[in-house]
Structure 1
Amino acid sequence: MPELKIQNKETVNTSCKVLMTVASFKSSTKLTMKSRGRLLNFIEAKLATINKIQDKDADAKFGPDALLVMAELYYALDRWLVLAGRKDESVNTRRSTGVNALFAQVVKLLSYQLETPINQLPNWLQDNFTIGMTDHGYEVDFQKRSALYYKEQDRERYRLKIKNGVVYQKKWWSSKDSTKWVKMNSEFTQSTGSQNTISDKHCGYVLSVVGDFYSGPHLSGTTYKQTGQYHSSYMGGKPVLCAGEIEVVEGKIKHLNTGSGHYGPAKGYLLNVINALTLCGVDPKSYKVNYHGSKTAYTGATMLEKIESEDKKVGDDNVSHHKSKIAAKYNNGVLGRLKDQMNKIEKQLAVIAHFGTSEHKEGITRRGGSRKAICSICSSANLDNQMQQDRYKQRDSKALQLEYEKLEKLVARIK
């Protein structure tokens, strides 16, 4: 999750019930130049929406629509500050003071509206607006340990740059000029790996919580070797805004989807991708989009309308408000499976530990008219004869205990 980068002198403990006006924000970020950029215009549009809500009733509690706008405003401001930190040409760092002041207010207003401590806001944003890994992802990455997680320097190699609607990537495959930016071609990215599992002419993409797109080779790994390059590799298994497959020819996006086994985005998360691309100057009418499992592709603009129209039919499951809670659903499924495995190991350790006890030596159970020296614990473990018991005794209790401790750490991490 993004850090709460509040850099002004206000303390984060003071509450904020009303955001500054658009006029005040423009004044605090005004420069002699006329151009303010798409991202700043987007921020002002979202701020104007909140201003209208608060003009009617400053003390009103926000509903789902207003909270969605607040979250979009939060992520847009965070994105601007990230770009300013990189000294990206799309933003002017002299506006940082004004942008950061609004960001601080947004954080405080969200805290007030949700009655949530500021340090807990990342959890709320994660639960409602990002995607956690599926149980398949956790199995591949943590149980089979076949995923390679990039360090920050390696991840930077695969970060995309989108300027005036054209997608650029670094020549990460070149040892001489690996930092040179060139127009992206997804088919080339795909062909760099013989074990690529992505659709024809496509390559994998991830949209991070701070609005960065990443794309690189997508290769199956070897169990316990941590060699696989998956959607989870870029952000180290952390939640993302979307993930899937993308087709790019000479920097122009042709098609994208939500095809990711590691994250399994619901259709609503395409909104994040379409909006992020629009802010980078990519016309939503210029490329096709479909969600995983659907063969019908629409333009980005049509998909946007389609999602919004369907949202009105599903009430509390409104996908554009990210009410599907897909991350929580998958995490709960993984927790249940891991706990089942822990219970099995506990039973195995209990059986091994009881062999030397008097209960085992003296336990007699009558079965089928004959008398067998078998205690109730052995009976429940289906160890009906001495040979089965002897084989069970040979199990490595230390190895089982280590496996239990690993599962215990995984459960704690997911929680």
Structure 2
Amino acid sequence: MPENQAPKIQNKETVNSSCKVLMSATSFKNSTKLTMTLTGKSRSNEKLLKFIDAKLTYINKVQEKDVNAKLGPDALLVLAELYYALDRWLVLAGRNDSSVNSRRSKGVNGLFAQVVKLLSYQLETPINRLPNWLQDNFTVGMTDHGYEVDYQKKSALYYKPKDREMYRLKITNGVVYQKQWWVSKESTTWVKMNSEFTQSTGSKNTISNKHCGYALSVVGDFYSGPHLSGTTYKETGQYHSSYMGGKPVLCAGEIEVVEGKIKHLNTGSGHYGPAKGYLLNVINALTLCGVDPTSYKVNYHGCKTAYTGAKMLEKIEKEEKKVGGDDVSHHKSKIAAKYNNGVLGRLKDKMKKIEDQLAVIAHFSTSDHVDGVKKVSGSRRAICDVCRKANLDTQHQQNNYRKRNSKALQLEYEKLEKLVARIK
């Protein structure tokens, strides 16, 4: 780098310490260049680095106008995508994955640290709270059905990090590989994936024909294995939630793979129930692994028409977003629409759910509920409107609902109320 550029870079690094701007795309490229590559693989061949370069260039252009200004919703979206891309690169480098050159780690680590600081500054959120913001806006948590199966019926098997590695997929140059877990749980052999075979190993599959379940973790790893119904209180079921231990994911659903080639995927997951916007995470993740988005079909739950990955990406990004609607409150594209309105929509949605829960809990002690319950064939069955709307048709379901901590729910509601007031 020419000596006359040094003072400018130094000044920029000084500004970085105040968490206002990132290093330039040129500086990042220079920090991740190597004088000699042992594998012969140049920097330009790393798809993930090219993706990072593009996102960084975008942020640089935005910040050139005013380094002190707060980023708009589009830039916030790109900055968050940059965070995930850098995090993904570092994960791959830690595994010595051939798709990245770990000798560039110092430069990537430096930019990652800056992105974390800038996100904290822009969101006025302490760094240790950033994971919560990212989780709320980019990931999908379990549905009520998921909680019922996993925590009430306790039929889900949760894998520990070491054990779930057996079901992690590897995607190289667009081809999907899996370990031979059906041969041995200690297998290290990678073979081309066939979803129909994966499905056929189970006896009680609820997955679509020729498909198997998948889950996309927050660090961009795909997991897949047989989808099996478990036994109540035995923790033997293998569901979408099994791989990440019930934690939020970037997406989950069903996938069809033939000899390593992806044919079709969707958002069909009862445990997570992701809205169509979460397909953005899947399509982007596959593209960075070398999977051509025009080579496979995609559809979301409730949509019979399947589009190519590229067409679905275009469709989702262009459609109009409505605050408070399903798409706004359940996927990251709400940030690109209007950050504040999107967050408000999500917070109000959570508040409404808590209000409904508190109303049902309070209802149990009223005469309306007592008078609305009668004995039918020796069991107790709810016939009052409130219980019917809450899908609490049996005494057992009502008793479980009564156990919910109303005080904790009220505190959570008040916390959300304060956040709404702050955003407004």
| Range of TM-score over shorter length | 0.7 to 0.9
* Structure 1 residues 173-221: Cα deviation after superposition (integer angstroms, max 9, x where no partner): 1128622100000000000001011000000001100000000011111
Superposition deviation, residue 407 in structure 1: 4.2
| 2:297 equivalent among 271, 276, 288 | 288
Q: 1:250-329 to 2 correspondence within 5 Å?
A: 250-310=259-319, 313-314=320-321, 316=323, 321-323=333-335
| 2:181 equivalent among 149, 156, 172 | 172
Superposition deviation, residue 272 in structure 1: 0.6
Superposition deviation, residue 92 in structure 1: 1.2
Alignment partner, residue 219 of structure 1: 228
Say whether the 8 Å CA contact 1:307–1:320 is kept in structure 2.
no
Say whether the 8 Å CA contact 1:149–1:237 is kept in structure 2.
yes
Say whether the 8 Å CA contact 1:132–1:328 is kept in structure 2.
no
| 1:26 equivalent among 12, 26, 29 | 29
CA distance in 2, matches of 1:126, 1:193: 32
Superposition deviation, residue 274 in structure 1: 0.5
Say whether the 8 Å CA contact 1:285–1:300 is kept in structure 2.
yes
Superposition deviation, residue 332 in structure 1: 6.0
Superposition deviation, residue 144 in structure 1: 1.6
Superposition deviation, residue 270 in structure 1: 0.5
Alignment partner, residue 53 of structure 1: 62
Superposition deviation, residue 136 in structure 1: 1.2
Alignment partner, residue 6 of structure 1: none
Superposition deviation, residue 343 in structure 1: 5.4
AA partner of residue 147 (structure 1): A
* Structure 1 residues 374-393: Cα deviation after superposition (integer angstroms, max 9, x where no partner): xxx999956xxxxxxxxxxx
AA partner of residue 179 (structure 2): K
Is residue 198 from structure 1 mapped to residue 243 from structure 2 by the alignment?
no
Question: 3-state SS of the aligned residue for 2:225?
Answer: coil
Question: 3-state SS of the aligned residue for 1:198?
Answer: coil
Moved more, 300-309 or 26-35: 26-35
Q: 1:108/1:298 Cα in 2 relative to 1: closer, same or farther (>3 Å)?
A: same
Superposition deviation, residue 330 in structure 1: 8.0
Say whether the 8 Å CA contact 1:134–1:331 is kept in structure 2.
no
CA distance in 2, matches of 1:193, 1:122: 35
* Structure 1 residues 207-266: Cα deviation after superposition (integer angstroms, max 9, x where no partner): 100000000011111222211111111111111101110000000000000111111111
Say whether the 8 Å CA contact 2:33–2:43 is kept in structure 1.
no
CA distance in 2, matches of 1:201, 1:141: 26
Superposition deviation, residue 333 in structure 1: 7.3
What stretches of structure 2 of length at least 5 have no aligned partner? 1-12, 336-341, 372-395, 413-424
Say whether the 8 Å CA contact 1:17–1:112 is kept in structure 2.
yes
CA distance in 2, matches of 1:222, 1:411: 31
CA distance in 2, matches of 1:55, 1:159: 41
Alignment partner, residue 386 of structure 2: none
CA distance in 1, matches of 2:262, 2:369: 60
AA partner of residue 198 (structure 2): T
Q: 1:379/1:143 Cα in 2 relative to 1: closer, same or farther (>3 Å)?
A: closer
Alignment partner, residue 394 of structure 1: none
Q: 1:377-392 to 2 correspondence within 5 Å?
A: none
AA partner of residue 314 (structure 1): K
Say whether the 8 Å CA contact 2:146–2:271 is kept in structure 1.
yes
CA distance in 2, matches of 1:35, 1:99: 13
Question: 3-state SS of the aligned residue for 2:312?
Answer: helix
Question: 3-state SS of the aligned residue for 1:172?
Answer: coil
CA distance in 2, matches of 1:221, 1:302: 37
Alignment partner, residue 115 of structure 2: 106
Percent of paired sites with the same residue: 73
Say whether the 8 Å CA contact 2:268–2:300 is kept in structure 1.
yes
AA partner of residue 25 (structure 1): F
| 1:240 equivalent among 227, 244, 249 | 249
Alignment partner, residue 135 of structure 2: 126
Give the alignment's TM-score, normalised by structure 2: 0.76
Question: 3-state SS of the aligned residue for 1:271?
Answer: helix
- The CA RMSD over aligned residues, in Å, is 3.2
| 2:20 equivalent among 4, 12, 17 | 17
| 2:43 equivalent among 35, 45, 53 | 35
Larger RCO, structure (CA 8 Å, separation 6 or more): 1
Q: Between Structure 1 and Structure 2, how many residues are aligned?
A: 356
Q: 1:73/1:251 Cα in 2 relative to 1: closer, same or farther (>3 Å)?
A: same
CA distance in 2, matches of 1:380, 1:304: 48
Q: 1:246/1:223 Cα in 2 relative to 1: closer, same or farther (>3 Å)?
A: same
CA distance in 2, matches of 1:176, 1:233: 16
